[in-house]
Amino acid sequence: MTAPDLSVKIGDLTLKNPVMTASGTFGWGVEYAMLADVSALGALVVKATTLRPRDGNKPPRVVETPAGMLNAIGLQNPGVEEVIKQKLPHLDKFNIPVIVNIAGDSVDDYVAVARRLSETGLVQALEINASCPNCEEGGMLFGLDPASLGGLVSAVRAATALPLITKLSPNVTDIVPLARAAVEAGSDALSLINTLVGIAIDVEKRRPKLGNTTGGLSGPAIRPVAVRMVWQVAAADLGVPLIGMGGIMNATDAMEFILAGANAVAIGTANFVTPDTINKVVTGLGDYCRRHKVCRLQDLVGAARP
Amino acid sequence: MTAPDLSVKIGDLTLKNPVMTASGTFGWGVEYAMLADVSALGALVVKATTLRPRDGNKPPRVVETPAGMLNAIGLQNPGVEEVIKQKLPHLDKFNIPVIVNIAGDSVDDYVAVARRLSETGLVQALEINASCPNCEEGGMLFGLDPASLGGLVSAVRAATALPLITKLSPNVTDIVPLARAAVEAGSDALSLINTLVGIAIDVEKRRPKLGNTTGGLSGPAIRPVAVRMVWQVAAADLGVPLIGMGGIMNATDAMEFILAGANAVAIGTANFVTPDTINKVVTGLGDYCRRHKVCRLQDLVGAARP
Amino acid sequence: MQNIQAEIIRNDPELDDYSVLELHAPHVAENARPGQFVHIRLNRLQDPLLRRPISIMLAEPHSGTIRLLIKKVGRGTELLCAALEGGTIDLLGPLGNSFPLPPEGKDVLLVGGGVGVAPLIFFADVLQKTPGLRSARGLYGGANENQLAVWTELAGRCEEFYVATEDGSAGEQGLVTDLLAEQLQRGDAQAVYTCGPRPMMAKVAAMCAEASMPCYASLEQWMGCGVGACLGCVVPGTEEAYLRVCRDGPVFPAEKLDWDNVI
Amino acid sequence: MQNIQAEIIRNDPELDDYSVLELHAPHVAENARPGQFVHIRLNRLQDPLLRRPISIMLAEPHSGTIRLLIKKVGRGTELLCAALEGGTIDLLGPLGNSFPLPPEGKDVLLVGGGVGVAPLIFFADVLQKTPGLRSARGLYGGANENQLAVWTELAGRCEEFYVATEDGSAGEQGLVTDLLAEQLQRGDAQAVYTCGPRPMMAKVAAMCAEASMPCYASLEQWMGCGVGACLGCVVPGTEEAYLRVCRDGPVFPAEKLDWDNVI
Ligand SMILES: Cc1cc2nc3c(=O)[nH]c(=O)nc-3n(C[C@H](O)[C@H](O)[C@H](O)COP(=O)(O)OP(=O)(O)OC[C@H]3O[C@@H](n4cnc5c(N)ncnc54)[C@H](O)[C@@H]3O)c2cc1C
Ligand SMILES: Cc1cc2nc3c(=O)[nH]c(=O)nc-3n(C[C@H](O)[C@H](O)[C@H](O)COP(=O)(O)OP(=O)(O)OC[C@H]3O[C@@H](n4cnc5c(N)ncnc54)[C@H](O)[C@@H]3O)c2cc1C
Ligand SMILES: Cc1cc2nc3c(=O)[nH]c(=O)nc-3n(C[C@H](O)[C@H](O)[C@H](O)COP(=O)(O)O)c2cc1C
Ligand SMILES: Cc1cc2nc3c(=O)[nH]c(=O)nc-3n(C[C@H](O)[C@H](O)[C@H](O)COP(=O)(O)O)c2cc1C
Ligand code: FES
Ligand code: FES
């Protein structure tokens, strides 16, 4: 059997395989260059970038929870200009599409970041982070209400010709209207899910373990919720590719998302546990196709659905 | 030091300690009589009871997930009349308050069940299950919208003089308006959280593992989300006791909820793992008070809050 | 039924994927009946979280020991197969009902497939040891000779013993139900007891119904509590909509199950 | 930096709560510098999920072995202390920066508290073995004699060695910072290297600042990735808002840290 076709299209962009990194969990790729074959990725999704530099939240910023972790990084980043100067120029060595996750406090912020990044030619797609649970203002709110999400996506859409992905928050009663609003406003794809809001308490010190009190829950613990949301959005048949994430530790987990309706997947927390998870997932997806005698992985998208 | 005072009031009902069972995870108590000292509980919360008998969902009904499980029992129960005839009479041997979790497809169903149970004198409080994620109609929907939840609680309130607890769904964008609606409609206490909706997929068979496709995620995996929701509702200061649950495996976990603002706790999935968890939590809460030199556990409620 | 920390006396790997665990668990050894199971916690961590039900393969009240046959099919059974001698295992048991003892009369047929052989070994042992009870004929099937774990344990406890493998690498080439067909034709058995993969048991149940032969099947289902409390482990029934494998079973008279929907 | 499956050669329990693990990890042994750490996966399961950072206590390039000192403080360190000889441990390393080597000149002071002694032992070892470098004076403090794990390992590598315990059960009664005060008064040291509980290090940093003595502190923080990618392990700095313990540290010149907010 010839090598299975793992490729997938996100807007105009063709990825050689559907495996990406989840924003914020793989730095700028370079941190993992000695531990994983970054160039084997379908795309590299890098950390959230904002207009101005951000210090981020006060520590502790991460805490382990059962089969998961809470993080409250708080969008620490050097700001879009430094990102363009210091970070992006190093990424072409991986020879894969680079997707920058963008965040901000206002629509104007997002638009400005999108415009600047688009001008550089160093970025192949943008992912709108409309769902950061760790920022006081902005981000999270956009992600909870279809009208404001639609407004945000439209404005960014007008500011860039790059393929545009909107990343959805799982902290909602019904994710479908948000997904629909993002697509109607011009999103070429949807990423889901971002983290669930959680708190862990140090019972001896009688205070929250995180400096920020709340954090975002990620890792295997949330996988059933993430698969369910992919399933729901896939059922709405919005006509755009879905990028599934949330607790993917291996190719089997990735297949859960694909069979539920995701066209692509992203690896987040797993990078911390097994730094070459990305490579194992790419290989494992190919093996799955071979074992199941499927030529194109995309033919399996949603195959667990009735 | 004298024995710490673990008691807590739920409406007019005084519990000797704040440890209950989570509905649906401890059967009718009798199933665990050989494995745990049921009479050491603050209260026994039994399985959801509906007006008419229910067969429940088709199997498989449970599946393990990382640090958690999905269930889709589907409210299987013999109906309120059989419950009154066959089940409740056996429970007085435990000599502890019995709280029945009630569910239905319509407000009238809930009202009828509440009225029948109240007449028997065998029940010390009712818990409205407005959040069952495993029933096609009814239950879940009430739990997602403040107005319909308020309507449901008011109607049940009018039908019973028993202390009334409303159990909230975590599958919402903001749990506080729901909590407020339940309290304004006459709820004497709030239980939170019920399970998160999730899906697990068998990638070899390419179909959902549960017969019902979706199930409710419980166990340690969801604890950070549950603690966060208790924290949020406690912050709203609604003036009623909160019963916290979601992944409590031991006294330390229970203290997380209490320090976050819960007055009482319920043990669910842990019963399956360690059948005498209820006893270990009661003992452990006493030990914690002694170690921290606190006379009344209720003085620690919300102590992790700023 | 108790929650016990049982010492692991021996862990004997068997064939490729199996292990036989011998545990010191006097309470279980003294009270267990064939068909019952223990519900095992895999470690002290929270992943894997739930217990795993495992049939009692043999119980020796004198030594206070029980034996379990484990087949590696996932993470939990892998952890069990790797359990260290000298360590302990946290288990609940004995749980569930048991195979009804046959009255005096003709022989009984035990039809096992794969790891389903375990409770049948215990049953054959009891039949052999109980004076006045009729003896058993064992029929054991597997994909190939590497799937016939501990077959001598069954063979040694049966008056007659037959094996079928799909590839013919041991015994007859074919299915265990082919062996059953021959036995049913002999017309000299009083009842069939079966445990194994569901399609096999469904076939056995259908053949027995056809032959008006009483049939008892031991079912598997994913479990929560293991003690009848959570209603998680049900299988569809004919009289009742659903029956709990952990409490109403694991052994059911075949006609009480809705085999078309036992998937 | 590599991801390695290191064989556990020895696991020596120490005192009540400690273990010394000896691992075969040639890549780490050859490349490690004092102050660096390895990031350890605790098992193949998903609970506990995250790796744990552990300082390299000693590295022997010839034998390809490293030693780690583990103190049981929670589930992860408990699993490590119970690790079986002959098994393997999955680790990333060596990670982080290291204690800057002192120039020729006066002696250096090593101020360790509790398990923080580990990287100081490695540092003392390098100082002792590197010709031309000045030797070290070790100051080691703990609550009592049961909290002075592997003190001989430090003592044997220092020219002078002093101990303080809060209850006086070993060495001077008092805090290790009392020992430091005496040493600083002697005025014959060129720099201080410290690792231990934060309040201790904050005090050491303050005393050194007062005495205009260069001070290097090795910090702890809860970690995600361990390789600088997640920004999870930061501590507040004076020049930069936040510094990553895993990449910018774990060793920091004391004046780069905002000690008032290093909680
Ligand atoms: C009464 C009884 C007695 C038993 N006796 C024995 C015995 O004596 N020896 C023995 O080896 N086994 C026995 N079993 C079976 C044993 O319990 C299972 O093999 C074991 O629980 C599997 O656990 P695991 O972690 O190894 O596999 P898992 O990893 O849990 O599962 C293995 C496979 O099953 C799938 N799966 C898991 N949960 C579900 C679900 N809810 N629905 C659909 N698919 C699912 C997984 O995806 C995977 O493909 C018995 C079962 C019962 C009910
Ligand atoms: C660079 C470096 C080097 C180290 N070197 C060593 C060494 O050589 N030897 C050694 O024994 N240890 C060393 N440590 C410390 C070691 O990493 C921790 O003790 C270990 O990670 C604890 O894991 P655990 O699972 O045992 O405890 P856990 O159960 O994870 O935690 C123990 C306690 O800390 C609390 N806690 C956990 N996470 C947080 C958080 N995010 N915020 C606040 N409180 C939290 C828990 O509630 C609990 O009370 C080092 C740490 C660092 C950063
Ligand atoms: C440490 C950390 C930092 C993250 N930072 C970002 C971010 O900057 N932007 C974003 O959209 N998502 C961020 N996320 C969310 C992940 O991209 C991903 O959506 C989530 O973690 C679920 O996937 P996982 O369970 O595989 O980690 C972050 C997650 C973690 C754990
Ligand atoms: C098998 C099972 C059955 C349940 N049945 C009910 C029910 O009938 N009514 C209800 O309100 N909650 C039900 N729940 C939810 C629990 O009461 C509890 O809210 C939830 O499991 C979270 O707690 P835990 O993580 O400790 O299990 C059920 C949970 C499980 C696991
Ligand atoms: S497993 Fe809970 S009822 Fe059978
Ligand atoms: S642990 Fe990820 S940056 Fe330090």
| Predicted pLDDT of residue C77 | 97
Summarize pLDDT for D91-111 with one digit per residue, the tens.
999 999 999 988 777 789 999
| CA distances, D4 to each of C64, D26, D60, D62 (Å) | 44, 9, 16, 18
Summarize pLDDT for C156-184 with one digit per residue, the tens.
999 999 999 999 999 899 999 999 999 99
CA dihedral B209→B215→B220→B222, nearest 10 degrees, is 130
> Closest by alpha carbon to D53, among D99, D113, D96, D97?
D96
Mean pLDDT of D230-245: 97
Q: What is the largest CA-CA distance in chain A?
A: 60
| Predicted pLDDT of residue D16 | 85
| Predicted pLDDT of residue A132 | 60
Catalytic hit among A132, A135, A289, A295:
A132
All residues at 6 or more sequence positions from D187 whose CB lies less than 8 Å from its CB, including other chains: none
| Predicted pLDDT of residue C134 | 74
H or E segment at A225? Answer: helix A223-236
Q: Which atom of ligand 1 is nearest to the CA of B64?
A: 38
Residue whose token pair is 């217990």: C51
> Closest by alpha carbon to A192, among A209, A171, A212, A211?
A171
Q: How many contacts (CB atoms, under 8 Å) link B and C?
A: 102
B146 contacts B177 by C-beta, under 8 angstroms:
yes
Burial class (CB in 10 A: 0-12, 13-18, 19+), D9: middle
| Predicted pLDDT of residue A35 | 97
- For residue A68, give the nearest of D49, D221, D241 by CB distance: D49
B42 contacts B18 by C-beta, under 8 angstroms:
yes
All residues at 6 or more sequence positions from C40 whose CB lies less than 8 Å from its CB, including other chains: C51, C52, C53, C54, C80, C89, C90, C91
Q: In what order do the strands lie in the sheet with C88-95?
A: C52-55, C37-41, C88-95, C2-14, C18-24, C65-71, C58-60
Residue whose token pair is 């959280």: B193
Q: How far apart are CA A276 and CA A32, in angstroms?
A: 9
Is B289 catalytic? The answer is no
A146 contacts A185 by C-beta, under 8 angstroms:
no
H or E segment at A183? Answer: helix A176-184
| Predicted pLDDT of residue C188 | 86
Mean pLDDT of C199-214: 95
Query: D224 vs A62: CB contact, 8 Å cut-off?
Result: yes
Which token pair is C208?
């027995």
Which token pair is A101?
């996750």
B198 interfacial to chain A (CB closer than 8 Å)? yes
Summarize pLDDT for A218-240 with one digit per residue, the tens.
999 999 999 999 999 999 999 99
Query: Of the ligands numbered here, which is closest to the C-alpha atom of B20?
Result: 4
Which token pair is C9?
């006396």
Work out the angle at residue C183's Cα, subtended by the Cα atoms of residues C177 and C184, and round it to the nearest 5 degrees.
85
| Predicted pLDDT of residue A144 | 86
Which token pair is D58?
């000693």
C82 contacts C88 by C-beta, under 8 angstroms:
no
To the nearest whole angstrom, how far is the Cα of D48 from the nearest Cα of chain C?
8
H or E segment at B192? Answer: strand B189-192
Query: Of the ligands numbered here, which is closest to the C-alpha atom of D67?
Result: 2
| Predicted pLDDT of residue A33 | 95
The three-class DSSP label of residue B274 is coil
pLDDT band at C135 (very low <50, low <70, confident <90, very high): confident
Which of B19, B21, B25, B191 to mutate to test ligand 4, by most ligand atoms within 8 A of the CB atom? B25
> Closest by alpha carbon to C42, among D46, A168, B301, D40?
D46
Summarize pLDDT for D163-190 with one digit per residue, the tens.
999 999 998 999 999 999 999 998 888 9
Range with lowest mean pLDDT among A77-86, A162-171, B1-10, D79-88: B1-10
Q: How far apart are CA D38 and CA C30, in angstroms?
A: 50
Summarize pLDDT for D14-60 with one digit per residue, the tens.
988 999 999 999 999 999 999 999 999 999 999 999 999 999 999 99
| Predicted pLDDT of residue A134 | 52
pLDDT band at A244 (very low <50, low <70, confident <90, very high): very high
Looking at every residue in chain C, the average pLDDT score rounds to 94
Q: Is residue C263's pLDDT more than 80?
A: no
Q: How far apart are CA C212 and CA B61, in angstroms?
A: 32
A218 lines ligand 3 (CB under 6 A): yes
Determine phi and psi for B147, rounding to 5 degrees.
-65, -45
Q: How far apart are CA A56 and CA D234, in angstroms?
A: 10
| Predicted pLDDT of residue D135 | 83
Cis bond upstream, residue B60 (ω within 30): yes
To the nearest whole angstrom, how far is the Cα of B66 from the nearest Cα of chain D?
7
pLDDT band at A135 (very low <50, low <70, confident <90, very high): low
Beta strand C88-95 with C37-41 is: antiparallel
- In percent, the amount of chain D with pLDDT more than 70 equals 100
Q: How far apart are CA A50 and CA C129, in angstroms?
A: 78
How many Cα neighbours within 13 Å face the side chain of B123?
Answer: 32
Residue whose token pair is 């809930």: B110
> Closest by alpha carbon to B223, among C44, A199, D49?
A199
Mean pLDDT of A184-211: 97
B81 contacts D61 by C-beta, under 8 angstroms:
no
| Predicted pLDDT of residue A133 | 57
Q: How far apart are CA A219 and CA A250, in angstroms?
A: 12
Q: Which of A174, A222, A250 to mutate: most B Cβ within 10 Å?
A: A222
Q: Which of D44, D46, D75 to mutate: most B Cβ within 10 Å?
A: D46
H or E segment at A81? Answer: helix A80-82
B18 contacts B6 by C-beta, under 8 angstroms:
yes
Q: Is residue C57's pLDDT more than 60?
A: yes
To the nearest whole angstrom, how far is the Cα of B199 from the nearest Cα of chain C?
16
Which token pair is A56?
């981020």
How many Cα neighbours within 13 Å face the side chain of C80?
Answer: 31
Helix axes of B176-184 and B223-236: crossing angle, nearest 10 degrees: 50
DSSP state of D241: S
Summarize pLDDT for B104-133 with one digit per residue, the tens.
988 999 999 999 999 999 999 999 998 765
A79 contacts A88 by C-beta, under 8 angstroms:
no
All residues at 6 or more sequence positions from A270 whose CB lies less than 8 Å from its CB, including other chains: A219, A247, A248, A249, A250, A277
The three-class DSSP label of residue A102 is strand
Q: How far apart are CA B15 and CA D123, in angstroms?
A: 58
Q: How far apart are CA A209 and CA A60, in angstroms?
A: 7
Q: How far apart are CA A179 and CA A160, in angstroms?
A: 20
| Predicted pLDDT of residue D65 | 98
**Residue owning the nearest CA to atom 13 of ligand 1:** C54
Q: How far apart are CA C115 and CA C108, in angstroms?
A: 20
List the end-to-end C-alpha distance of chain C, in Å, as a whole number. Answer: 29
B216 contacts B196 by C-beta, under 8 angstroms:
yes
C233 lines ligand 5 (CB under 6 A): yes
Beta strand D189-195 with A68-71 is: unpaired
CA dihedral D214→D215→D216→D221, nearest 10 degrees, is -140
Query: A199 vs B247: CB contact, 8 Å cut-off?
Result: no
Looking at every residue in chain D, the average pLDDT score rounds to 94
All residues at 6 or more sequence positions from B13 whose CB lies less than 8 Å from its CB, including other chains: B43, B97, B124, B125, B163
B36 contacts C213 by C-beta, under 8 angstroms:
no
B119 lines ligand 1 (CB under 6 A): no
How many Cα neighbours within 13 Å face the side chain of C242?
Answer: 26
Residue whose token pair is 């609680």: B153
| Predicted pLDDT of residue B135 | 53
Neighbours of C208 (CB within 10 A): 24
A289 interfacial to chain B (CB closer than 8 Å)? no
List the end-to-end C-alpha distance of chain B, in Å, as a whole number. Answer: 28
Q: How far apart are CA A219 and CA A65, in angstroms?
A: 9
| Predicted pLDDT of residue B133 | 57
Summarize pLDDT for C78-123 with one digit per residue, the tens.
999 999 999 999 999 999 999 998 877 778 999 999 999 999 999 9
Q: How far apart are CA D54 and CA D76, in angstroms?
A: 11
> Taking CB atoms and an 8 Å cutoff, what residues of chain A touch C46?
66-67
Give the residues of chain B that fall short of pLDDT 50: 136-138
Which of D220, D233, D234, D263 to mutate to test ligand 2, by most ligand atoms within 8 A of the CB atom? D220
Q: What is the largest CA-CA distance in chain B?
A: 60
> Closest by alpha carbon to D78, among D117, D112, D52?
D52
Q: Where are any strands of DSSP class E within C79-225?
A: 88-95, 107-113, 136-142, 160-165, 172-173, 189-195, 215-218
Sign of the CA dihedral with A120 first, then A126, A130, and A132 last: negative
**Residue owning the nearest CA to atom 53 of ligand 2:** D220
Residue whose token pair is 């005498």: B276
A202 lines ligand 2 (CB under 6 A): yes
